[in-house]
C-alpha cells in the first residue's frame, strides 16, 4: 500500500552498490597491470617477522619468543620488522573541487582519483606492501581486508570544503606516499606538506588529476565562475579573453608542482580524466618501482 | 488613418515607434545576462581582470532583430488592415445608411449579406462614420449610431419570411428624415412595386449603391392535389441552364417522428423558369404530410406548408340495414370500412347527428328512404360542397326512390327491380367492367379481370344519362353515375357495397375508385367572405430561413385577412387553426411569377461578393513572435548556452503555438492505466458532487485497508472514474453513489458501461437514503437511480436470497449494513429453475458474478477512514454501532471477494466446511 518504501530500498541498494564496483574496477585495473613484468614477490618482505636475536639485558620476559627458545638453550627475542619502511600512505583529495566533471560522459575527478588509488593499493598489496591512508583514518596494513577497508574509507571521503590540502599526519618516516589531487587550490599547504614529508624522509608520487575542461578552458561570453562548493566566485565579461592567462597560470602551477617534486625527491604526473586510467596506473606502478618502494634490495 | 493600401484601426499606437531609438540605446547599454558556471579552476582565475573594460556588447544584428520584433508588435497592435477597396468609396465620410430588403429571398444569401454588412460596418467604423440599418420588411426610422454598436447587433438581424410591400417601402421612404447620407441597398433581386419611389427618396439624400446576389432564387408553389397525385411546381427567378432540384416531402412517420416521407426531383429545362412534377403518395401517407421543401434552399420561399387540403377526410358511413347480426362479411359497410380506414377518419352514428360535424363524405349504403328533414339537411350539406356516395342494394332496388322523376339526391332515375345477370333465369354470364372513359375520374385505373357484376340497379335512359356515367359494364349499362349538386356531388354505385351483387368490393380497384372519388372531392380553399368574422390561431409559423417554429403567443388573425391580406409582421406564414379546420398560409402564392429586379441604369449595381479586407495585425504579431524566438536562439548561442536540447525545445514551442494537449492526455491515461492495472484497484464513479466523491474515495480507502489487512487482496489506492472519459475495464468493482441531481451519462458512456457489465464488471449502486421509500417509489435518489440505470443492460433483480454466494465469499453474513442497516440489497435474480437439493444448505445459483448490487445503506460512509485509520463518520451508537461498522467492512470484503472469485464459494466442495461452520 505504501509507495515510499520502493525509493528507499532503491536508494539503499544504490548506496550499497557503489562499493563493490569501485573495488571490482580497481581489481580489474590492477589485474591488467599485474599481467606484465614484475617479479618483486619476495618472501619475508613486508612480513611482520624480522629476526630472532638473543635476549639482552633490559628485555622484558614478555618479549621472549618461547617457541624459538625451546628449540635451543639460548633465549631469543622475536624482533619485528620496521613497519615504517614498507608502508605506502595514500592521500586522496576529498575536496569539493574534485567532484567536477565538464561532460556527462566523463567521470568526476574524485571518481578517477579513488579508482587509481585503490587500484594501486591492490597492486601494492599483492606486492606485499602495506597500504594505508594518511591522517587518522586508516593505518597501514596488509591483506584483502585492508583493501575493502580502503575502498570503504575512500567512498566515505567527501569533504565539504572546496579545496583540501594534503594531510601528512600519520605519515611514517622513510615511508612512501601517494598524493592524488587536482592541486588547483592554495599552493602553500601543498608545499608545506611536501617539505614536511621530505624532512621525514618520505618519498612519493604526486598525481595531478584534471578535467579536460580545466586544461582547455573552453568558455566564452559573460560568465560567473563558481567553485564547486560555492565559496569562491569570479565574474568575467569576456571569458574567452581569460583563456590564455588561465592556461598560463595552470602551466605555472604544473611547473611549480614538478619543481617542488624534484626538489623533494618526489615524482610528478598529470592525468586527465578523459584519458584511460590504465596509463596513469602504469605510471604509478613504475614510479613506485623506480623509487624502490620495496627498498629491501636497495636499488 | 490609411498609409498607402494599409489602414490602421488604432493609428495613435504608432507613436510608440518613436520610442524605438531609446530602446536601442538601452538595450545596447545593458550587457547580456551572465551565465553561472561551476569551475574548480576558479582559484587560478582569482585576480585576473578583464583586459577590455567595455562590456561584451550585444551585437548590432541581435539588436536589430529585437527592434524589428518590437516594431512588429507596435504596428500589429495598431490594427493594420490591408484594404483593397476602391479608394474613392473609402474616402467618403458622412452618415451611411444600409438598406436591406431582408425578405425571404434574401435568406438564401444571408451569411454573405451579413459578412458584407460586417465588412462595411468595420470600414465605416475606421472612417468614423455614423451608420444606420434599415430593414424594409420591418421599417423603422433610421437612427444613426456608431458602427461598433451595429456590429454587435448584426448577429441578431434576420430575414423575414415576407417581402417588403409597397406600403412598407412607402413607410420607409417617409421615415428617412431630412439628413443627407450615403445609401447602400442590399437587395434580394426580386422585382416589386414601390422600389422606384424609395430609390428616388434615397437618391435625393445622397448616392445610392445597390448590391444584390447573382445566385438563383428557387421558390416552391403550394402543393395542389390533382387526381391522385400531389402536383408541385418550382419557380426560378431567371431562366438558366438545365437544373434539377429535389423536393422533400416532410411529415411524421406512424410513430410521430418527423422525417422525410418522399422526395421528388423537379427538372428545370434550359430556358424555362418553371418545373413541375407530381408526387404519387398513398393517401394514408399523404395524410401525414406537413410540408414540402426544396432541398438545399434555406429560405422560406422554398417551403410550402400543407393544410387540410391534404389531410385525412372525414367520412360518415350510414347503412340501410344493420340487423344481420354476426355476419360481418355481409355487412354493407364492412368493405367500405376496410377500404377507407387507412386514409380517412370514419364517423359512426345517426345521419342527423353527424351532419353538424361536417364530414367531407357521407356514404349511404343501400339507404332508400330518408325523412324530409334528413333530405333537406343532406341537400344543404351537399350543395355546400359535400360528397354523397350512395350504394345500391336490395332496398334501393325495391323502393320507389327516383323512379318516375329524378330524386335530388340521386344522380339518375332507376328502373324498377334492377337486374340479375348470370343467374339461372337471366342472360348469359356475369358482366365485367368496361374500360373507363377518358373524362371519368377513374380514367387510367387498371381493371382486374376477375371483377364480375351479377346484379345491379338499372338506370332509366335519360338525355343526361350519358354525361353522368363515369363507369359502365362491358355491355354498356351504367355502373357508377354522378351528378353535381351545388358545390357538391352525388355519386351512385349501382351495386352493393358488399360482395353480394358483385366482386368489385373484393378487388383493389374498389379502393382506388373510392380514393379517386374522395380525392376529387377535396377540401376547397375557402373564399375570404366565407371566413368573415372568424379568428384563426397560428399554430406553427415559418421564419425567413424556412424553419418552422411553434407560434407561441402570437395573436390570432381574422379569417378574411388570413386569406387575402399580404404577409407581414402581423400575418406570418404558417399553419393556422380555425373553427373547424386548419389552413396554411404560404410565403409563395399559387402563381409566384418571380421576376428579376429592374434598376435604372444610373444606379450602380454590384455583386455581394467583394474582396474582403485583410487584417494584418495577426500576421505582424506572428512575425514578432518568430523574431523573438530567433532572438532567444541567438541570445542563447551568444552566451554559449545553446544546447541542442534547448534549441529543439524553443523551436518546438515556436512551431506549435497551439499546445498539444492530446499527448499529455494520452500520457495521463497511460499512467492511469498502469496504476490501475499494476494492482487491484477499487474505483468509484465521480458524481460531480465534490463532498460525495471524497466520501466515496475515503470509503474505498477504508475498504482497501481492510482488505489489505485481512485478506490476500492488497488493493492500491482507489481511483475516481469519470464515466465519460475514463476506461472502465481496469476496475473489478465500481462504487456508484447516487445523488438526486446527478447528470445522466452520455450514450457512449452507457455503451462503455454496458460493455463493462457484460464483461464481468460489477457496479455497486448506493442510493444512501436507507431506501426509505423502497425502490420503484419516488424517493428522489430512487427516481434518479431508475433514470440512471434504465439504459443499462441489467438482468432481473431480487433481494439477496439467504443462500446467495455473497453471504459466504469470505465471512458468513446474513445482513449487509452500511451506515443504515436492515434494508434489502438487490442482486441478479436466481434462475427460475434453481432448486435446493436435499441436504445442501444452498442452491446452485448463478454461474457468474452479479453485474449490479443495488442498495441504499450508504456503505461508503461506514467504510470511510482517514489516513490514520480513524473512521470519518459515526455509525449507530456505541458498541452496537461499531459492530455494525464491522459488518459493513465484512460486506465490503465479501463483495470484493465475490467480484474476484466469482462463484468459487458456490462450489459444492465447500459444503462440508461451511456446514461445520454453520453448526449444522
pLDDT 10s digits, B254-267:
777 888 888 888 88
Reported confidence tier of residue A176, pLDDT bands at 50, 70, 90: confident
| Same structural domain, A69 and A160 | no
Reported confidence tier of residue B776, pLDDT bands at 50, 70, 90: low
The answer to whether the CB atoms of A224 and B34 lie below 8 A apart is: yes
What's the CATH number where A22 sits? 3.40.50.410
| Same structural domain, A163 and A68 | no
Q: CA of A95 to nearest chain B CA: how many angstroms apart?
A: 10
Q: CA of B32 to nearest chain A CA: how many angstroms apart?
A: 7
Q: What is the dihedral of CA A92, A97, A99, A103, to 10 degrees?
A: -130
| Same structural domain, A154 and A66 | no
Show residues of chain B in contact with A216, CB under 8 Å.
none
| Same structural domain, A152 and A68 | no
The mean pLDDT of B212-225, rounded to a whole number, is 82
pLDDT tens-digit readout, B64-86: 888 888 888 888 888 777 765 54
pLDDT tens-digit readout, B222-257: 887 766 678 888 888 888 888 888 898 888 877 778
Q: What percentage of chain B exceeds 70 in pLDDT?
A: 86
Q: What rounded mean pLDDT belongs to chain A?
A: 77
Give a yes or no: residue A296 inside a domain: no
* Position B526 pLDDT exceeds 70: no
SS3 B490: strand
SS3 annotation, A281-297: HHHHHHHHHHCCCCHHH
Give a yes or no: residue A212 inside a domain: yes
Show residues of chain A in contact with B705, CB under 8 Å.
1
Q: Which structural domain range is residue A71 located in? A: 43-81
Contact of B12 with chain A, judged by CB distance below 8 Å, is answered with: no
pLDDT value for B661:
44
The mean pLDDT of B859-879, rounded to a whole number, is 86
Helix, strand and coil percent figures for chain B, each rounded to 5: 35, 20, 45
* Position B876 pLDDT exceeds 50: yes
Number of domains present in the structure of chain A: 2
The answer to whether the CB atoms of A1 and B716 lie below 8 A apart is: yes
> CA nearest A166: which of A279, A260, A291, A287?
A260
> CA nearest B742: which of B794, B778, B690, B699?
B690
* Position B718 pLDDT exceeds 70: yes
Bridge-partner residues for B346, per DSSP? Answer: B315
The answer to whether the CB atoms of B640 and A219 lie below 8 A apart is: yes
Give a yes or no: residue A294 inside a domain: no
* Position A11 pLDDT exceeds 60: no
Give a yes or no: residue A299 inside a domain: no
Reported confidence tier of residue B87, pLDDT bands at 50, 70, 90: very low
Reported confidence tier of residue B774, pLDDT bands at 50, 70, 90: low
| Same structural domain, A149 and A210 | yes
Q: Which of B285-294, B520-529, B653-662 has the highest mean pLDDT?
A: B285-294
The answer to whether the CB atoms of B38 and A235 lie below 8 A apart is: no
pLDDT tens-digit readout, B839-867: 666 666 656 678 888 888 889 999 998 88
The answer to whether the CB atoms of B41 and A246 lie below 8 A apart is: yes
pLDDT value for B659:
44
* Position B531 pLDDT exceeds 80: no
Domain boundary among A60, A81, A102: A81
Contact of B204 with chain A, judged by CB distance below 8 Å, is answered with: no
Contact of B50 with chain A, judged by CB distance below 8 Å, is answered with: yes
Length of chain B: 920
| Same structural domain, A141 and A165 | yes
| Same structural domain, A214 and A277 | yes
ipTM over 0.90: no
SS3 B425: coil
Taking any CB pair shorter than 8 Å as contact, residues of chain A touching chain B are 1, 97-98, 100, 109, 162-163, 182, 184-186, 211, 213-214, 217, 219-228, 232-238, 241-242, 245-246, 249-250, 253
Give a yes or no: residue A206 inside a domain: yes
pLDDT value for A36:
39
SS3 B361: strand
Q: CA of B640 to nearest chain A CA: how many angstroms apart?
A: 7
Domain boundary among A57, A81, A105: A81
CA distances for A197 relative to A205, A253, A266, B863, angstroms: 11, 20, 10, 75
Contact of B425 with chain A, judged by CB distance below 8 Å, is answered with: no
The answer to whether the CB atoms of A224 and B37 lie below 8 A apart is: yes
Q: What percentage of chain B exceeds 90 in pLDDT?
A: 3
pLDDT tens-digit readout, B613-635: 677 788 888 888 998 888 888 87
Bridge-partner residues for B363, per DSSP? Answer: B317, B389
Show residues of chain A in contact with B675, CB under 8 Å.
none
Give a yes or no: residue A239 inside a domain: yes
The answer to whether the CB atoms of A214 and B32 lie below 8 A apart is: no
The answer to whether the CB atoms of A1 and B56 lie below 8 A apart is: no
| Same structural domain, A76 and A52 | yes
Beta-carbon contacts below 8 Å between A and B: 110
Q: Which residue of A has its CA nearest to B718?
A: A1
pLDDT value for B280:
81
Residues 609-638 of B with CB under 8 A from A: 638
Give a yes or no: residue A5 inside a domain: no
pLDDT value for A3:
38
> CA nearest B220: which of B267, B275, B155?
B275
Query: Which residue of A1, A181, A244 to mutate against B (max B Cβ within 10 Å)?
Result: A1
| Same structural domain, A21 and A35 | yes
pLDDT tens-digit readout, B897-907: 888 887 777 77
The answer to whether the CB atoms of A221 and B640 lie below 8 A apart is: yes
CA distances for B444 relative to A231, B183, B317, B470, angstroms: 113, 60, 27, 12
Contact of B508 with chain A, judged by CB distance below 8 Å, is answered with: no
Show residues of chain B in contact with A219, CB under 8 Å.
37, 39, 640
Between CA B456 and CA B430 the distance in angstroms is: 11
| Same structural domain, A114 and A52 | no
Strand order in the sheet with B208-212: B131-135, B96-100, B182-187, B208-212, B604-606
Q: CA of B863 to nearest chain A CA: how many angstroms apart?
A: 17
pLDDT value for A46:
43
| Same structural domain, A213 and A267 | yes
Q: CA of B700 to nearest chain A CA: how many angstroms apart?
A: 13
Contact of B155 with chain A, judged by CB distance below 8 Å, is answered with: no
| Same structural domain, A189 and A70 | no
Between CA A13 and CA A15 the distance in angstroms is: 5
Q: What rounded mean pLDDT belongs to chain B?
A: 80
The answer to whether the CB atoms of B40 and A253 lie below 8 A apart is: no
Q: CA of A133 to nearest chain B CA: how many angstroms apart?
A: 24
The answer to whether the CB atoms of A221 and B716 lie below 8 A apart is: no
The answer to whether the CB atoms of B43 and A185 lie below 8 A apart is: yes
The answer to whether the CB atoms of A225 and B44 lie below 8 A apart is: no
Domain boundary among A81, A103, A135: A81
Query: Which residue of A103, A223, A228, A240 to mutate against B (max B Cβ within 10 Å)?
Result: A223
pLDDT tens-digit readout, B452-496: 888 888 888 888 888 888 888 888 888 899 888 887 889 999 888
Give a yes or no: residue A176 inside a domain: yes
Amino acid at each position: 500500500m505504501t509507495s515510499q518504501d520502493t525509493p528507499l530500498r532503491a536508494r539503499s541498494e544504490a548506496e550499497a552498490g557503489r562499493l563493490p564496483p569501485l573495488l571490482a574496477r580497481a581489481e580489474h585495473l590492477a589485474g591488467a597491470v599485474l599481467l606484465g613484468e614484475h617479479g618483486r614477490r619476495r618472501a619475508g618482505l613486508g612480513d611482520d617477522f624480522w629476526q630472532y636475536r638473543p635476549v639482552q639485558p633490559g628485555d622484558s620476559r614478555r618479549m621472549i619468543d618461547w617457541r624459538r627458545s625451546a628449540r635451543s638453550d639460548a633465549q631469543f627475542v622475536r624482533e619485528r620488522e620496521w613497519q615504517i619502511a614498507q608502508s605506502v600512505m595514500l592521500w586522496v583529495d576529498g575536496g569539493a573541487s574534485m567532484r567536477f566533471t565538464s561532460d556527462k560522459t566523463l567521470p568526476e575527478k574524485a571518481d578517477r582519483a579513488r579508482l587509481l588509488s585503490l587500484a594501486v593499493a591492490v597492486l601494492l598489496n599483492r606486492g606485499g606492501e602495506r597500504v594505508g591512508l594518511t591522517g587518522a583514518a586508516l593505518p597501514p596494513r596488509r591483506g584483502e581486508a585492508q583493501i575493502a577497508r580502503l575502498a570503504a574509507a575512500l567512498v566515505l571521503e567527501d569533504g565539504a570544503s572546496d579545496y583540501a590540502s594534503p594531510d601528512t599526519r600519520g605519515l611514517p618516516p622513510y615511508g612512501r606516499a601517494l598524493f592524488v589531487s587536482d592541486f588547483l587550490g592554495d599552493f602553500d599547504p601543498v608545499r608545506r606538506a611536501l617539505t614536511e614529508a621530505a624532512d621525514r624522509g618520505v618519498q612519493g608520487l604526486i598525481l595531478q588529476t584534471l578535467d579536460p575542461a580545466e586544461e582547455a578552458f573552453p568558455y566564452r561570453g559573460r560568465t560567473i565562475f563558481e567553485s564547486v562548493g560555492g565559496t569562491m566566485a569570479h565574474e568575467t565579461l569576456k571569458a574567452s579573453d581569460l583563456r590564455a592567462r588561465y592556461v598560463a597560470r595552470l602551466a605555472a602551477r604544473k611547473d611549480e608542482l614538478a619543481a617542488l617534486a624534484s626538489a623533494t625527491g618526489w615524482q610528478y604526473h598529470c592525468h586527465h580524466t578523459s584519458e584511460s586510467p590504465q596509463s596513469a596506473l602504469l605510471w604509478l606502478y613504475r614510479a613506485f618501482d623506480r623509487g624502490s618502494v620495496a627498498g629491501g634490495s636497495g636499488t | 488613418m490609411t498609409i498607402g493600401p494599409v489602414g490602421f484601426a488604432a493609428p495613435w499606437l504608432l507613436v510608440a515607434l518613436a520610442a524605438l531609438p531609446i530602446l536601442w540605446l538601452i538595450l545596447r547599454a545593458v550587457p547580456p545576462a551572465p551565465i553561472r558556471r561551476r569551475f574548480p579552476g576558479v582559484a587560478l582565475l582569482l585576480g585576473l581582470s578583464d583586459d577590455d573594460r567595455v562590456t561584451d556588447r550585444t551585437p548590432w544584428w541581435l539588436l536589430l532583430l529585437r527592434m524589428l520584433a518590437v516594431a512588429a508588435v507596435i504596428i500589429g497592435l495598431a490594427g493594420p488592415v490591408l484594404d483593397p477597396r476602391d479608394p474613392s468609396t473609402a474616402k467618403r465620410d458622412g452618415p451611411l445608411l444600409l438598406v436591406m430588403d431582408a425578405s425571404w429571398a434574401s435568406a438564401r444569401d444571408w451569411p454573405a449579406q451579413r459578412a458584407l454588412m460586417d465588412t462595411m460596418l468595420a470600414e465605416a467604423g475606421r472612417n468614423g462614420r455614423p451608420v444606420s440599418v434599415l430593414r424594409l420588411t420591418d421599417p423603422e426610422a433610421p437612427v444613426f449610431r456608431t458602427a461598433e454598436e451595429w456590429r454587435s447587433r448584426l448577429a441578431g438581424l434576420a430575414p423575414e419570411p415576407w417581402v417588403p410591400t409597397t406600403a412598407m417601402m412607402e413607410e420607409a421612404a417617409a421615415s428617412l428624415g431630412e439628413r443627407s447620407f450615403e445609401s447602400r441597398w442590399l437587395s434580394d433581386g426580386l422585382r416589386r412595386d414601390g422600389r422606384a419611389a424609395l430609390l428616388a427618396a434615397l437618391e435625393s439624400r445622397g448616392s445610392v449603391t445597390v448590391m444584390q446576389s447573382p445566385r438563383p432564387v428557387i421558390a416552391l408553389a403550394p402543393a395542389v392535389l390533382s387526381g391522385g397525385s400531389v402536383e408541385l411546381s418550382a419557380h426560378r427567378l431567371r431562366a438558366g441552364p438545365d437544373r434539377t432540384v429535389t423536393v422533400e416531402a416532410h411529415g411524421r412517420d406512424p410513430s410521430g417522428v418527423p422525417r422525410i416521407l418522399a422526395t421528388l426531383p423537379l427538372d428545370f429545362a434550359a430556358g424555362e423558369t418553371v418545373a413541375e412534377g407530381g408526387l404519387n403518395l398513398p393517401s394514408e401517407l399523404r395524410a401525414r404530410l406537413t410540408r414540402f421543401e426544396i432541398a438545399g434552399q434555406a429560405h422560406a420561399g422554398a417551403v410550402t406548408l400543407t393544410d387540410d387540403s391534404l389531410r385525412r377526410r372525414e367520412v360518415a358511413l350510414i347503412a340501410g340495414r344493420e340487423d344481420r347480426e354476426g355476419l360481418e362479411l355481409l355487412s354493407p359497410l364492412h368493405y367500405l370500412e376496410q377500404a377507407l380506414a387507412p386514409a380517412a377518419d370514419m364517423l359512426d352514428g345517426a345521419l342527423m347527428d353527424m351532419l353538424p360535424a361536417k364530414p367531407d363524405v357521407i356514404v349511404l349504403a343501400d339507404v332508400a328512404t330518408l325523412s324530409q328533414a334528413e333530405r333537406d339537411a343532406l341537400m344543404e350539406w351537399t350543395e355546400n360542397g359535400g360528397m354523397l356516395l350512395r350504394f345500391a342494394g336490395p332496398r334501393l332496388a325495391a323502393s320507389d326512390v327516383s323512379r318516375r322523376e329524378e330524386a335530388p339526391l340521386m344522380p339518375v332515375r332507376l328502373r324498377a327491380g334492377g337486374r340479375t345477370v348470370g343467374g339461372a333465369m337471366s342472360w348469359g354470364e356475369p358482366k365485367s367492367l368496361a374500360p373507363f372513359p377518358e373524362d371519368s375520374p377513374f380514367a387510367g385505373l387498371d381493371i382486374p379481370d376477375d371483377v364480375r357484376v351479377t346484379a345491379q340497379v338499372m338506370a332509366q335512359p335519360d338525355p343526361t344519362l350519358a354525361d353522368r356515367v363515369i363507369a359502365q359494364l362491358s355491355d354498356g349499362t351504367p355502373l357508377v353515375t354522378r351528378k353535381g349538386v351545388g358545390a357538391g356531388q352525388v355519386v351512385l354505385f349501382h351495386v352493393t357495397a358488399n360482395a353480394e351483387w358483385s366482386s368489385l368490393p373484393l378487388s383493389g380497384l374498389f379502393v382506388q375508385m373510392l380514393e379517386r372519388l374522395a380525392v376529387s372531392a377535396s377540401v376547397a380553399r375557402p373564399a375570404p367572405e366565407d371566413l368573415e368574422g372568424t379568428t384563426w390561431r397560428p399554430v406553427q409559423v415559418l421564419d425567413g430561413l424556412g424553419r418552422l417554429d411553434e407560434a407561441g403567443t402570437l395573436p390570432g388573425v381574422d379569417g378574411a385577412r388570413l386569406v387575402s391580406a399580404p404577409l407581414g409582421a402581423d400575418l406570418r406564414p404558417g399553419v393556422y387553426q380555425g373553427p373547424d379546420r386548419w389552413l396554411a398560409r404560404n410565403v409563395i402564392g399559387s402563381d409566384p411569377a418571380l421576376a428579376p429586379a429592374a434598376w435604372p441604369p444610373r444606379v450602380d449595381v454590384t455583386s455581394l461578393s467583394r474582396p474582403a479586407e485583410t487584417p494584418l495585425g495577426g500576421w505582424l504579431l506572428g512575425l514578432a513572435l518568430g523574431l523573438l524566438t530567433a532572438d532567444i536562439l541567438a541570445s542563447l548561442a551568444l552566451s554559449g548556452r545553446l544546447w541542442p536540447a534547448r534549441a529543439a525545445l524553443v523551436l518546438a514551442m515556436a512551431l506549435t503555438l497551439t499546445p498539444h494537449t492530446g499527448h499529455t492526455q494520452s500520457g495521463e491515461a497511460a499512467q492511469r492505466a498502469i496504476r490501475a492495472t499494476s494492482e487491484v484497484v477499487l474505483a468509484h464513479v465521480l458524481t460531480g458532487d465534490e463532498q460525495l466523491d471524497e466520501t466515496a474515495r475515503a470509503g474505498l480507502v477504508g475498504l482497501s485497508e481492510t482488505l489489505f489487512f485481512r485478506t490476500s487482496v492488497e488493493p492500491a489506492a482507489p481511483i475516481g472514474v469519470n464515466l465519460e472519459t475514463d476506461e472502465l475495464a481496469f476496475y473489478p468493482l465500481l462504487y456508484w453513489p447516487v445523488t438526486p441531481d446527478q447528470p445522466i451519462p452520455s450514450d457512449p458512456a452507457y455503451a462503455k458501461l454496458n460493455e463493462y457489465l457484460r464483461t464481468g464488471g460489477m457496479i455497486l449502486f448506493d442510493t444512501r437514503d436507507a431506501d426509505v421509500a423502497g425502490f420503484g417509489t419516488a424517493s428522489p435518489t430512487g427516481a434518479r437511480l431508475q433514470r440512471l440505470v434504465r439504459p443499462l443492460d441489467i438482468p432481473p433483480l431480487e433481494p439477496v436470497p439467504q443462500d446467495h454466494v455473497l453471504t459466504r465469499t469470505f465471512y458468513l453474513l446474513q445482513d449487509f449494513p452500511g451506515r443504515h442497516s436492515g434494508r434489502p440489497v438487490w442482486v441478479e435474480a436466481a434462475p427460475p429453475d434453481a432448486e435446493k437439493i436435499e441436504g445442501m444448505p444452498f442452491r446452485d445459483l448463478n454461474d457468474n458474478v452479479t453485474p449490479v448490487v443495488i442498495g441504499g445503506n450508504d456503505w461508503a460512509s461506514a467504510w470511510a477512514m482517514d489516513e490514520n485509520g480513524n473512521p470519518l463518520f459515526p455509525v449507530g451508537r456505541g458498541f452496537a454501532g461499531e459492530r455494525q461498522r464491522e459488518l459493513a467492512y465484512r460486506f465490503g470484503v465479501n463483495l470484493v471477494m465475490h467480484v474476484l472469485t466469482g462463484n468459487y464459494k458456490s462450489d459444492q466442495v465447500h459444503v462440508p466446511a461451511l456446514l461445520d461452520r454453520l453448526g449444522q
